[in-house]
């Protein structure tokens, strides 16, 4: 008896399409994960070699400059520094896989514990900065592209050039001089005033969030005031990139045939600009924002030092000045891993939201 169902009438090639699509997605995902693993392995190799080629003996940093030779030898034996480099690297990787980044000489705490304490402050600062940069940079880029060649466009391009040209430490020092020393608008350096020190229970490690969760609105206001100036300085560093890339994407989008069609249909300029133009650049802009955010997490070192912000950047700087190599390498490895992870998430989001990539 002949089969008359829809499945029987469908050709085998068409029935195989969902399976082929699934296999392609699995292959693409496996390639992405393999690339991430290779990158993380390379990062581990680089940090390991840095710890071995710098002119700082980790053994001396632990036992002190005036320790007896037998104490130094015992410490080297305990740390495994008497073994060949390949064996040391295998031990290093084994510790990394167990989440062991060593012990900090400064604090005598595990490096992972120190990073867990300092990293949330960096996340708070970088997240605030990227939100400010997005809220300002994206509209500036869109409007500059819509008014290409105008004075507004030229002003936006000058601002973008300034953000790329002025070093962040110079901008931070100038901001402190103007808004703290001269005008008195900013409350100064640090994450909070000494009056609120120790009054906010630690929940997330982000002081503004913790103070709000505790219902202490005076502490929340003080934390926001301390956060504003360093976040604005860091945001300006990222705003220039976001503005420039948004403008470039929009210029390309506004030259498309679908924009000409939308204008021929009599659609309003605002709808054409934001729905048709910006709607088509939103996906590639995700990658730019993710990389900009990763850059803020990585580049917050100088900003945190200038504003005495208790984040991973200041922890890294103080550790380096004190020859605490376990802390330096551990913080460097964490920052690099976060950068790789955000890059991977941006790539996955690009594949998820852009049907052309899929």
What DSSP string describes 169-190? HHHHHHHIIIIIIIS--S--SS
Residues 93 and 141 placed together within one structural domain of the fold: no
Q: Which residue has the higher pLDDT, 59 or 234?
A: 234
Give the residue ranges of DSSP H helices in the chain: 6-9, 12-15, 17-53, 58-63, 69-79, 85-97, 111-146, 151-165, 168-175, 207-213, 217-254, 257-264, 269-271, 279-306, 312-321, 325-353
Of 46-60, 119-133, 303-317, 325-339, give the range with the top mean pLDDT. 119-133
The pTM of the whole model exceeds 0.85: no
| Judgement on whether residues 164 and 58 belong to the same structural domain of the protein | no
**Domain membership flag for residue 27:** no
The pLDDT, as a whole number, for residue 316 is: 85
Q: Calculate helix-pair angle for 217-254, 111-146, nearest 10 degrees.
A: 50
Is the domain of 130 the same as that of 256?
Answer: yes
Instruction: Tell whether 20 is covered by a domain.
Output: no
Name the β-bridge partners of 103: 110
Mean pLDDT to the nearest integer, 64-71? 69
**The pair of three-digit structure tokens given for residue 86, joined into one six-digit string:** 């390949």
Summarize pLDDT for 252-309 with one digit per residue, the tens: 888 777 777 777 777 777 777 777 778 778 778 888 888 888 888 776 788 888 888 8
106 domain-assigned: no
| CATH number, domain containing residue 334 | 1.10.3720.10
Kindly give the interhelix angle for 151-165 and 111-146, rounded to the nearest 10 degrees. Answer: 160
Q: Are residues 163 and 264 in the same domain?
A: yes
The residue out of 43, 69, 100 marking a domain boundary is: 100
Q: Which residue, of 47, 67, 100, is where some domain finishes?
A: 100
Where in the sequence is the domain holding 219, given as residue range(s)?
A: 112-353
Q: What SS3 class is residue 29?
A: helix
């Amino acid at each position: 008896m002949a089969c008359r169902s829809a499945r029987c009438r469908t050709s085998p090639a068409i029935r195989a399409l969902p399976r082929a699509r699934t296999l392609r997605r699995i292959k693409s995902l496996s390639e992405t994960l393999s690339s991430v693993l290779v990158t993380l392995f390379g990062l581990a190799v680089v940090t390991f070699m840095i710890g071995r080629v710098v002119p700082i003996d980790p053994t001396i940093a632990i036992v002190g400059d005036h320790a007896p030779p037998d104490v130094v030898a015992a410490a080297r034996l305990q740390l495994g520094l008497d073994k060949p480099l390949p064996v040391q690297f295998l031990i290093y990787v084994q510790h990394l896989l167990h989440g062991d980044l060593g012990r900090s000489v400064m604090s005598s705490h595990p490096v992972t514990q120190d990073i867990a304490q300092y990293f949330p402050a960096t996340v708070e600062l970088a997240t605030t900065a990227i939100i400010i940069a997005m809220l300002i940079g994206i509209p500036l880029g869109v409007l500059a592209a819509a008014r290409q060649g105008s004075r507004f466009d030229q002003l936006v391009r000058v601002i973008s050039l300034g953000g790329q040209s002025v070093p962040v430490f110079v901008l931070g020092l100038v901001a402190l001089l103007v808004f703290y020393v001269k005008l008195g608008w900013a409350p100064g350096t640090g994450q909070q005033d000494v009056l609120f020190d120790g009054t906010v229970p630690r929940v997330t490690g982000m002081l503004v969030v913790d103070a709000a969760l505790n219902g202490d609105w005076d502490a929340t206001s003080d934390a926001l005031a301390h956060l504003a100036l360093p976040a604005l300085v860091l945001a300006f560093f990222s705003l220039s990139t976001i503005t420039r890339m948004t403008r470039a994407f929009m210029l390309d989008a506004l030259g498309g045939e679908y924009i000409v069609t939308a204008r021929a249909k009599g659609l309003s300029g605002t709808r054409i600009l934001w729905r048709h133009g910006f709607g088509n650049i939103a996906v590639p802009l995700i990658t730019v924002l993710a990389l900009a955010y990763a850059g803020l997490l990585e580049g917050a070192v100088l900003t945190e030092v200038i504003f005495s912000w208790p984040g991973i950047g200041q922890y890294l700087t103080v550790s380096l000045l004190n020859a605490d190599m376990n802390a330096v390498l551990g913080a460097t490895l964490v920052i690099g891993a976060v950068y790789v992870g955000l890059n991977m998430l941006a790539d996955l989001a690009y594949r998820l939201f852009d049907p052309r990539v899929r």
